[in-house]
């Protein structure tokens, strides 16, 4: 069987932000060709028990990390329970959140923090105007910053995620100044991928490879100037292709492949082992090099 280190689950079919570059799966396409398509519950989000079964499966096949991604995980009321469940099994939990709920719901961060291995916080501009324009939400920057600052009190790692597009390219290097005096372990600069909502807006956001790599270099220069100690990693489209096993909110496994999502099957109708066997476009070696080395 192919080795796998991390399972990614997009937790929600809705989001409280409306980022038009977003690659998340909200509703499945009309035809996926995936095992289970046409069954009654194929298009319904995983309930708590089913989500726990997915987490169990990840643990049983030897994955070490389980990522809870957007739409914002905390829209789900059961998210603290699910994060705690994965943590108890010994999986490193990674929670990618836009911070809208986490910054405002009393006691939530405090409750989940002991069970989080790493939090992912977005910054898509170095100033509120650019960031909030990118994320289509006024006040988003302030909430992201609030969670970033609050994270200094907890043991989990902090990773900042930035999507590099034609629209925010100029603003990105200066994000390094903002992050330099915060507790940040890693800053990930990912090239825009035209998937999900992003596919509709591909012309607006697409950035060619040379411009993307120039932004990453400029960001590294500013980070060095300000004495930042965090690691900077990049992910162009090619690096990502075939390296991630994703599950949609409905529990349908797919492999992101450039501008496509290659659907395999529903976790309700296939074991994770069978899904991995059928994932011909999943490059386990590339996956392990990306996440382990
Ligand atoms: S990028 Fe994240 S926060 Fe924005 S719409 Fe997509 S899932 Fe929601």
Does the Cβ of 22 fall within 6 Å of ligand 1? yes
> Rounded to 5, what percent of the chain is helix, strand, coil?
40, 20, 45
Stronger pLDDT, 259 or 151, i.e. the higher one: 151
Name residue 288's beta-bridge partners.
none
Domain enclosing residue 125, as ranges: 6-291
Contact (Cβ atoms closer than 8 angstroms) between residue 92 and residue 159: no
Contact (Cβ atoms closer than 8 angstroms) between residue 55 and residue 89: yes
The CATH number covering residue 16 comes to 3.20.20.70
Q: What is the pLDDT of residue 239?
A: 74
Identify the residue whose C-alpha is closest to ligand 1 atom 4.
19
Candidate from 74, 98, 103, 164 with most ligand 1 atoms within 8 A of CB, to mutate: 98
CA of 244 to the centre of ligand 1 (A): 18
Q: What is the pLDDT of residue 238?
A: 75
Of 26-30, 87-91, 120-124, 255-259, the one with minimum mean pLDDT is: 255-259
Does the Cβ of 15 fall within 6 Å of ligand 1? yes
Identify the residue whose C-alpha is closest to ligand 1 atom 6.
22
Does the Cβ of 179 fall within 6 Å of ligand 1? no
CA of 13 to the centre of ligand 1 (A): 11
Does the Cβ of 19 fall within 6 Å of ligand 1? yes
How many domains, in total, are found in the chain?
1
Does the Cβ of 17 fall within 6 Å of ligand 1? yes
CA–CA gap between residue 282 and residue 244 (Å, rounded): 7
CA of 97 to the centre of ligand 1 (A): 8
Counting from 1 in the atom list of ligand 1, the atom nearest the Cα of 10 is 7
Please report whether residue 212 resides in a domain: yes
CA of 193 to the centre of ligand 1 (A): 13
Is the pLDDT at 198 greater than 70? The verdict is: yes
Stronger pLDDT, 197 or 128, i.e. the higher one: 128
Q: What is the dihedral of CA 180, 183, 186, 190, to 10 degrees?
A: -70
Residue 153: which residues within 8 A CB-CB, separation 6 or more? Answer: none
Place of tokens 């799966």: 25
**Band of the pLDDT at 157, cuts 50, 70, 90?**
very high
Residue 192: which residues within 8 A CB-CB, separation 6 or more? Answer: 21, 163, 164, 165, 166, 198, 205, 206, 207
- The two tokens of residue 286 are 């590339």
Is the pLDDT at 87 greater than 90? The verdict is: yes
Exposed/middle/buried for 284, CB within 10 Å: 0-12, 13-18, 19+? Answer: middle
CA of 213 to the centre of ligand 1 (A): 24
Counting from 1 in the atom list of ligand 1, the atom nearest the Cα of 71 is 7
CA–CA gap between residue 286 and residue 113 (Å, rounded): 31
Is the pLDDT at 121 greater than 70? The verdict is: yes
Please report whether residue 83 resides in a domain: yes
Of 57-66, 174-183, 281-290, the one with minimum mean pLDDT is: 281-290
Determine the angle formed by the axes of helices 128-135 and 140-150, rounding to 10 degrees. 110
Which string of DSSP letters, residue by residue, matches 153-210? GSSSEEEEEEEE-TTTGGGGGGHHHHHHTS--SEEEEEE----THHHHTHHHH---HH
**230-277, pLDDT tens digit by residue?**
999 887 777 778 899 999 999 999 998 877 899 999 999 999 999 999
Of 106-120, 192-206, 232-246, the one with minimum mean pLDDT is: 232-246
Please report whether residue 1 resides in a domain: no
**47-67, pLDDT tens digit by residue?**
999 999 999 999 999 999 999
Identify the residue whose C-alpha is closest to ligand 1 atom 8.
71
Does the Cβ of 96 fall within 6 Å of ligand 1? no
Contact (Cβ atoms closer than 8 angstroms) between residue 263 and residue 253: yes
Closest CA to 171 of 123, 136, 225: 123
CA–CA gap between residue 62 and residue 284 (Å, rounded): 13
Dihedral pair phi/psi, residue 244, rounded to 5°: -125, 135
Beta strands in the chain (DSSP E): 6-10, 65-69, 92-96, 118-122, 157-164, 186-191, 231-235, 246-247, 252-257, 260-266
Omega before 273 cis (within 30°)? no
Does the Cβ of 163 fall within 6 Å of ligand 1? no
Q: What is the pLDDT of residue 173?
A: 97
Candidate from 13, 19, 97, 144 with most ligand 1 atoms within 8 A of CB, to mutate: 19
Three-state secondary-structure class, residue 48:
helix
Mean pLDDT, rounded, for 114-128: 98
């Amino acid at each position: 069987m192919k080795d796998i280190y991390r399972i990614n689950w997009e937790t929600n079919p809705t989001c409280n932000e409306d980022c038009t570059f977003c690659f998340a799966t909200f509703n499945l396409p009309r035809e996926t060709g995936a095992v289970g398509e046409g069954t009654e519950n194929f298009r319904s989000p995983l309930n708590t028990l089913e989500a726990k079964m997915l987490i169990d499966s990840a643990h049983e096949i030897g994955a070490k990390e389980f990522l809870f991604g957007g739409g914002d995980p905390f829209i789900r009321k059961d998210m603290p329970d699910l994060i705690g469940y994965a943590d108890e099994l010994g999986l490193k939990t990674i929670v990618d959140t836009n911070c809208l709920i986490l910054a405002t719901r009393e006691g939530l961060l405090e409750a989940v923090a002991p069970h989080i291995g790493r939090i992912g916080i977005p910054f898509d501009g170095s100033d509120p105007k650019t960031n909030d324009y990118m994320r289509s939400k006024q006040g988003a920057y302030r909430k992201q910053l609030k969670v970033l600052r609050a994270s200094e009190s907890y043991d989990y790692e902090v990773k900042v995620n930035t999507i590099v597009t034609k629209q925010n390219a100029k603003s990105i290097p200066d994000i390094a100044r903002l992050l330099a005096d915060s507790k940040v372990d890693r800053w990930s600069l990912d090239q825009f991928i035209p998937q999900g909502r992003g596919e509709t807006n591909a012309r607006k956001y697409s950035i060619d490879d040379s411009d993307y790599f120039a932004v990453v270099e400029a960001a590294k220069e500013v980070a060095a100037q300000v004495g930042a100690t965090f690691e900077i990693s990049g992910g162009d489209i090619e690096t990502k292709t075939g390296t991630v096993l994703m599950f949609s909110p409905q529990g349908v496994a797919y492999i992101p492949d450039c501008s496509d999502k290659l659907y395999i099957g529903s976790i309700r109708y296939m074991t994770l082992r069978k899904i991995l066997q059928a994932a011909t476009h999943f490059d386990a070696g590339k996956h392990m090099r990306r996440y382990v080395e």
